[in-house]
Structure 1
Amino acid sequence: MELDTLKKAKEIIRKDPGISVNTLTNREKTKIVDALRETYPLAELLSVLTLARSSYFYHRAALRAGDKYVTVHTTMAEVFNGNYGCYGYRCLHAMLRQEGLRLCGKVVRRLMAEEQPVVSRSRRQRYKAPRPTIYSPEILKRRSLIKNG
């Protein structure tokens, strides 16, 4: 049974073959238990993986719940693309509040980091000091011939 759990861990989590049960997170252990639950009893799997029963059911419910910001993702994309991709997180946050979605700024920034919207506005040009022109020796020789000439 322990060998099967390690094989499933390799398949599901895609970690190196030298993984230990102790280094896995509870969420990863929950995925392994769900995969092997048809072949082994739940109590044995939990004891082999050293996972508490309450932790298993908590992470199982969290995995099944999905993303709670699905509507926010679509609304953010509509607002961002509707304004030609010029809005940063502050403007997006204000527009989402106008549409009735109350989120804090940190959540808006995190969701933007997940989506990685491309802002179309270019940055301000930096000042570039004029550089003296360096002439080749042939040009300098020609100029001196014209002046003296």
Structure 2
Amino acid sequence: MFELNAKIRKFQETFTCNFHKEFSLGTLAGKELKGVPLSTLEDMLDQVISQTSMMEEEYLAEQNIQKQTQKELIDCERNVSLTEVILKTTQALQDLTRQTSELEQMCTALGEELQRRCICPNCHLDNVEVLGGIL
């Protein structure tokens, strides 16, 4: 967009300078305006209008591209944000899964230890029923 504005300014300066060089009073001193045909001036004016229209169309096209790029940027930022949330949630879920697994292993180890302690070292009978009465 800045490039387009610079081109427009440069064009305007060039046209203004050329116009003043060719048609200023200082250079027309001793010359008559009758020497410049009206059709030439009309052609120059048509050319300026045509170039201005082309520049305006290019500007509008660039503006549409900029708007589309802005929308794409917003979508990408939204996707990055959602990805970060999903990543954090996944990590939290993995932490909970690991904790659950550790707790299951601990419960299994405690259950095995309880069963081992409930077996009589002499007769090797299972005394778990007695433990139920105590608890």
Do these two structures clear the TM 0.5 threshold for a shared fold by scoring above it? no
**Greater helix fraction, Structure 1 or Structure 2:** 2
**TM-score bracket, shorter-length normalisation:** under 0.3
* TM-score under structure 1 length normalisation: 0.24
Q: Which has the higher contact order (CA 8 A, sep 6+)?
A: 2
